């Protein structure tokens, strides 16, 4: 539920001019490593890693090994043919002896890069299947050549070869990884591998039968299982040692065990023990124990996420995609979030929602700014800039949550963004551009802090309300709620009083960018004729369109024409803030009461349908800028330095590995499910 992705003004960053100087050895942060299709791959750096103690470095090292060991799990969760597909594509690419400048090979390379980025043949964001631009004939020749020189490889994937051909070349076969279209069987029409041979109704009936509505501390049903049928009966197959994905889980557990000896506190060691127990047994109670220990342990510098966490990949929002992020605290920047979380109760008490829906006592909102040391699984190569966990509502209510802003990632985006022409094209006038130049980085970071550390944690459900009551719209409405909370408070004088901003107009930078993004520029991520589907994009559109419409009478914000181009013009920032507050009150009511009908109506009316005229205009204007709509990252490489006895005496970090070489190395060294 709770990950925050980069919004457009910064994510639409990194210019073509930045490509001229690929990796700058003096400051690799934000440099462009690769560019293909709608993707740009950047480097991030890990400031402060050298200053960690030797034990902390070893801790990070083993945790990064545990992180990389789970890569295959995510690939297989994304689609049942994804691992053999990767094996075939990488094999052909590495075996190829022909002209690497030929049109077919260039198209093939492009396709391979997309598949690596999507952790499978579907786009990481739209979840639509990639379209190859090489010919089927050419591909058959390459399979033959590959089979001649590597018969064992083709042997190993031989029985799914016909499926792989269909997967690559037949547009309607497994066309979408996550289908959210209302009224269709979301399971039958989604290509992910969380379910097999079952209908949506069978899955819903199955879980309804085992859920106890009176359970105040329910486990996260279906989080770590694949649902299928055996002998006509619906069953769950758990991901665990001895179960699904066992070889990968063994390596994860092995590295977690090595990491454990460097845990910084007894509680952190205990949380790792609980995580290992969960991987060993598949018991969701053990996962809850782990989550509680992890949430309450806020003192360590080094921290990590490793497991089946976010459920965006499941159209029913239950099964967690495997991911890992290893990180450590950025002490300077953490002062900012400490100030915010110390004032958490003030924010809750003053929020513009019905007092019945407020938390009487905000528990343990711990927020910090971190630097990521490794991104893995569902957090790689595309990665969130903020995370708030755990996801279980009852644990959040009873034990609080941990919220992070990943500063070295936002820094890389910002480093990449300067001078790409985006603001000149889309921002209405020079004073507004100046405002953005001056205040967007800090207000965007504050927006992330507020969204993650207070927004998701705020409010409460009325007694007896099912946390899954908003069903397929739950993710969108939850993100809407967190964004509105952040937007509302960004303009609050409290932020000046707390010393977080130094100018009462600073918030206008974020307001302008948010409306511009929600009404216009995020549409460049959508293909012509398609609807908005991804939860965060829906949430941004919902908020911006709702405010546009409800602000009409007061002329709060409008779309104006200048020289034939459309611009967002904000006339009344003060009233805009009130509108954010009004919408927040309604979304909180919907969540607290579990009012599915009202939630669905808001989403359907404001968040889904795209105006084709404005869409086309945005695409045309954006195309001229030649900015990649999506960004992702290559990881640094960690190398242990050992003495004559094999003891680790240091861990070095380097920033030189390129995109495909990194993918190939991972496939070679971290592929327990295929080798
Ligand atoms: Zn969020």
Q: Tell the residue number behind the tokens 């905000």, with chain if given.
A: 362
> What is the DSSP track for 501-567?
-S-TTTHHHHHHHHHHHHHTGGGGGS-TTPPP-SHHHHHHHHHHHHHHHHTTTTT-EEEEEETTEEE
Res. 420: pLDDT tops 90: no
Which residues have CB under 8 Å from 137's CB, separation 6+? none
CA of 478 to the centre of ligand 1 (A): 7
How much is the average pLDDT of 1-7?
Answer: 59
Left (φ > 0), alpha (ψ -120 to 50) or beta: where does 37 sit? left
CA of 453 to the centre of ligand 1 (A): 10
pLDDT digits 0-9 by tens, 377-402: 999 999 999 898 999 989 988 998 88
Confidence at 23, pLDDT banded by 50, 70, 90: very low
> What is the Cα–Cα distance from 83 to 532, expressed in whole angstroms?
29
CA of 419 to the centre of ligand 1 (A): 29
CA of 134 to the centre of ligand 1 (A): 38
Res. 102: pLDDT tops 50: yes
Percent of the chain with pLDDT over 90: 83
Q: Count CA atoms closer than 13 A to 427's CA, side-chain side.
A: 24
CA–CA–CA angle 161, 137, 92 (5° rounding): 55
CA of 495 to the centre of ligand 1 (A): 21
CA of 383 to the centre of ligand 1 (A): 13
pLDDT of residue 1: 45
CA of 97 to the centre of ligand 1 (A): 47
CA of 534 to the centre of ligand 1 (A): 13
Other Cβ atoms closer than 10 A to 497: 10
Structure tokens at 303: 């921290």
pLDDT of residue 9: 39
CA of 482 to the centre of ligand 1 (A): 6
CA of 196 to the centre of ligand 1 (A): 29
CA of 80 to the centre of ligand 1 (A): 29
Which residues have CB under 8 Å from 563's CB, separation 6+? none
pLDDT digits 0-9 by tens, 541-591: 999 999 999 999 999 999 999 999 999 999 999 999 999 999 999 999 999
> What is the Cα–Cα distance from 418 to 644, expressed in whole angstroms?
47
| CA distances for 85 relative to 109, 157, 195, angstroms | 14, 9, 19
In the three-class reduction of DSSP (H, G, I as helix; E, B as strand; rest coil), residue 240 is classed as coil
Res. 123: pLDDT tops 90: yes
CA of 45 to the centre of ligand 1 (A): 24
Of the candidates 176, 111, 36, 131, the residue with the CA atom closest to the CA atom of residue 533: 176
CA of 215 to the centre of ligand 1 (A): 26
| CA distances for 9 relative to 180, 308, 371, 442, angstroms | 27, 30, 21, 13
CA of 380 to the centre of ligand 1 (A): 18
CA of 191 to the centre of ligand 1 (A): 25
Which residues have CB under 8 Å from 341's CB, separation 6+? 365, 366, 367, 403, 453, 454
CA of 21 to the centre of ligand 1 (A): 34
Other Cβ atoms closer than 10 A to 420: 19
Confidence at 19, pLDDT banded by 50, 70, 90: very low
pLDDT digits 0-9 by tens, 358-383: 999 987 567 788 999 999 999 999 99
Are the C-beta atoms of 400 and 366 separated by less than 8 Å?
yes
> What is the Cα–Cα distance from 19 to 507, expressed in whole angstroms?
32
Res. 274: pLDDT tops 50: yes
Are the C-beta atoms of 181 and 359 separated by less than 8 Å?
no
Look at 24 and 465; give whichever has higher pLDDT.
465
Structure tokens at 285: 């109670």
CA of 479 to the centre of ligand 1 (A): 5
CA of 523 to the centre of ligand 1 (A): 20
What is the dihedral sign for C-alpha 151, 154, 158, 161? negative
CA of 480 to the centre of ligand 1 (A): 8
- Give pTM, 2 decimals: 0.81
CA of 4 to the centre of ligand 1 (A): 5
pLDDT digits 0-9 by tens, 463-484: 999 888 998 899 999 999 999 9
| CA distances for 148 relative to 91, 95, 140, 141, 145, angstroms | 12, 10, 12, 11, 5
Which residues have CB under 8 Å from 151's CB, separation 6+? none
Measured between its terminal Cα atoms, the distance across the chain in Å is 33
CA of 654 to the centre of ligand 1 (A): 31
Res. 21: pLDDT tops 60: no
Round the average pLDDT of the chain to a whole number and report it: 93
Q: Classify burial at 26, counting beta carbons within 10 Å of its beta carbon; exposed 0-12, middle 13-18, buried 19 or more.
A: exposed
What is the dihedral sign for C-alpha 275, 276, 279, 280? negative
> What is the Cα–Cα distance from 218 to 450, expressed in whole angstroms?
28
CA–CA–CA angle 565, 569, 573 (5° rounding): 165
| CA distances for 265 relative to 303, 633, 647, angstroms | 11, 31, 23
């Amino acid at each position: 539920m709770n990950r925050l992705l980069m919004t457009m003004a910064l994510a639409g960053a990194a210019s073509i001019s930045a490509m001229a100087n690929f990796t700058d050895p003096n400051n690799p942060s934000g440099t462009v490593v690769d560019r293909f299709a709608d993707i740009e791959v950047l480097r991030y750096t890990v400031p402060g890693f050298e200053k960690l103690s030797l034990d902390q470095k070893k801790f990070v090292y083993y945790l990064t090994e545990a992180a990389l060991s789970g890569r295959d799990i995510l690939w297989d969760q994304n689609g049942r043919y994804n691992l053999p597909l990767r094996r075939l594509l990488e094999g052909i690419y590495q075996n190829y002896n022909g002209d690497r400048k030929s049109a077919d090979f260039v198209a093939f390379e492009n396709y391979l890069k997309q598949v690596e980025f999507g952790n499978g043949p579907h786009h990481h964001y739209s979840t639509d299947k990639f379209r190859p631009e090489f010919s089927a004939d050419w591909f058959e020749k390459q399979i033959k050549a590959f089979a001649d020189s590597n018969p064992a490889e083709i042997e190993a994937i031989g029985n799914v070869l016909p499926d792989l051909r269909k997967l690559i070349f037949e547009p309607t076969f497994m066309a979408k990884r996550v289908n959210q279209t209302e009224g269709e069987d979301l399971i039958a029409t989604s290509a992910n591998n969380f379910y097999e041979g079952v209908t949506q109704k069978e899955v819903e009936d199955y879980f309804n039968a085992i859920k106890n509505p009176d359970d105040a501390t329910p486990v996260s049903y279906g989080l770590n299982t694949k649902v299928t049928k055996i002998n006509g009966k619906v069953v769950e197959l758990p991901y665990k040692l001895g179960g699904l994905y066992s070889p990968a889980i063994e390596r994860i557990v092995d590295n977690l065990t090595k990491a454990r000896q460097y845990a910084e506190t007894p509680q952190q060691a205990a949380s790792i023990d609980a995580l290992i127990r969960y991987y060993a047994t598949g018991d969701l109670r053990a996962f809850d124990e782990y989550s509680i220990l992890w949430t309450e342990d806020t003192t360590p510098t080094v921290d990590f996420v490793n497991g089946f966490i976010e459920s965006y990949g499941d159209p029913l929002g239950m099964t967690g995609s495997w991911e890992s992020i290893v990180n450590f605290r950025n002490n300077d920047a953490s002062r900012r979030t400490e100030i915010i979380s110390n004032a958490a109760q003030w924010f809750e008490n003053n929020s513009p929602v019905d007092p019945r829906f407020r938390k009487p006592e905000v528990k343990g909102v711990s927020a910090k700014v971190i630097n990521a040391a490794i991104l893995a699984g569902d957090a790689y190569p595309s990665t969130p800039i903020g995370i708030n966990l755990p996801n279980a509502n009852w644990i959040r209510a009873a034990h609080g949550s941990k919220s992070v802003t990943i500063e070295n990632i936002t820094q890389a985006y910002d480093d990449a963004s300067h001078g790409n022409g985006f603001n000149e094209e889309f921002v209405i006038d020079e004073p507004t551009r100046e405002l953005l130049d001056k205040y967007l980085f800090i207000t965007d970071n504050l927006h992330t802090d507020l969204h993650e550390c207070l927004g998701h944690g705020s409010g409460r459900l009325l007694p007896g309300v099912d946390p899954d009551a908003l069903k397929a719209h739950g993710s969108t409405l939850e993100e809407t709620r967190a964004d509105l909370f952040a937007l509302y408070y960004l303009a609050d004088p409290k932020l000046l009083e707390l010393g977080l901003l130094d100018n009462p107009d600073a918030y206008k930078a974020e307001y302008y960018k948010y409306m511009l993004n929600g009404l216009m520029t995020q549409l460049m991520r959508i293909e012509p004729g398609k609807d908005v589907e991804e939860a965060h994009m829906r949430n941004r559109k919902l908020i911006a369109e709702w405010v546009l419409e409800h602000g009409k009478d007061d002329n709060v914000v409008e779309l104006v024409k200048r020289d034939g181009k459309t611009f967002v013009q904000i006339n009344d920032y003060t009233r805009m803030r009130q509108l954010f507050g009004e919408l927040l009150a309604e979304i909180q009511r919907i969540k607290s009461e579990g009012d599915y009908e009202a939630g669905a109506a808001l989403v359907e009316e404001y968040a889904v349908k795209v105006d084709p005229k404005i869409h086309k205009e945005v695409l045309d204007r954006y195309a001229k800028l030649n900015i990649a709509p999506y960004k992702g990252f290559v990881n640094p490489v960690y190398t242990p330095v050992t003495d004559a006895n094999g003891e680790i005496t240091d861990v070095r970090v380097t920033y030189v590995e390129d995109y495909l070489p990194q993918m190939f190395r991972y496939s070679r060294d971290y592929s327990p499910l295929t080798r």
